[in-house]
Amino acid sequence: MQTIRKAFTMKLHEGQAEEYERRHAALWPEMKEMIRNYGGRNYSIFLDPRTNVLFGYIELEDENLWTTSADTAICRKWWDYMADIMDVNPDNSPVTFGLQPVFHLD
């Protein structure tokens, strides 16, 4: 099976970098389990402190399976928990912008 690499950006509210990092350092075990159960691996998030833009990278086994993770109760609970410190949609999902791959070297 070929690994699917996904990259995206999100936007953090001004002054929330430490809180964002604190919450992720204590990521709930149920959230970690959900990410793995829905085929997510090698997940990283980086912050550009000049712009408060977050850059996310994740490797997936199956993009369709990953998409269904948004319907899990734990994912919705995490979105609600994070909604006060970042740009979100009306359902509290993070506003994300997918990035187009232009180069990769193994």
Sequence-distant (6+) residues with CB within 8 A of 80 are 92
**24 tagged catalytic:** yes
Which amino acid type is present at position 33? E
d(CA 54, CA 13): 10
| Nearest CA-CA partner of 20 in 56, 43, 47, 57 | 47
| Nearest CA-CA partner of 73 in 100, 40, 33 | 33
Which one from 5, 13, 22, 24 is the annotated catalytic residue?
24
Active-site annotation, residues: 24
